[in-house]
Amino acid sequence: MAGYRKLGRTASQRKALLRNQVTALLVNGKMVTTEAKAKEIRRIAESIIALAVKEKDNYETVKVSAKVAQKDKDGKRVKQVVDGKKVDVFDTVEKEIKKDKPSRLHARRKMNAYLCPVKKVDSSVLGKKKATKEVDVAQMLFDEVAPKYMNRNGGYTRIVKIGQRKGDAAMEVLIELV
């Protein structure tokens, strides 16, 4: 007996389908799919969320100084003439950043290896390439999803049966984060 559902697909197709659907579930919070797919999605999504909950606070804050170019009122870099050459003028800025400890970094890399890259589009500026932003799903899991489930031992998703699909009578379900 197999340890997973084959979903009527080859291995590569099945892996791609599950990656896409798990990513969509974690980003959007809920989705409608068939019962068999939902049960497979639940297995993977719960393990990823459990990983995020476990490593949520495993980082240290570090002060870093960085050089940042000065900009004028139009947003262009300020230039200064030194030895007959135009060079940019830089300011030194102190920042505090979160530095992952090794186990959190490993968890982040495992998540990024499985989850698909996601781009969000600003709805006010549809159709423009500059309006799209890359979403760091692993960071979203650590910052938004994991704090909700800190006091919960598993059971991060819920499957609710909707009814049979009209075309092929497959049982449709709503899978959502609790």
Task: Find the mean pLDDT for residues 103-124.
Answer: 91
Both structure tokens of 128:
């423009």
| pLDDT score for 84 | 87
For the chain, list the domains and their CATH numbers.
Answer: 11-57+102-177 (3.90.1030.10), 59-100 (no CATH)
Token look-up 């590569």 returns: 12
| pLDDT score for 101 | 95
SS3 content of the chain, % helix, strand, coil (to 5): 40, 35, 30
For residue 1, pLDDT beyond 70:
no
| pLDDT score for 2 | 75
For residue 4, pLDDT beyond 70:
yes
| pLDDT score for 138 | 95
- The answer to whether 67 and 92 are in contact (CB under 8 A) is yes
- The model's confidence at residue 126, banded by pLDDT at 50, 70 and 90, is low
- The model's confidence at residue 132, banded by pLDDT at 50, 70 and 90, is confident
Task: Find the mean pLDDT for residues 9-21.
Answer: 96
For residue 99, pLDDT beyond 70:
yes
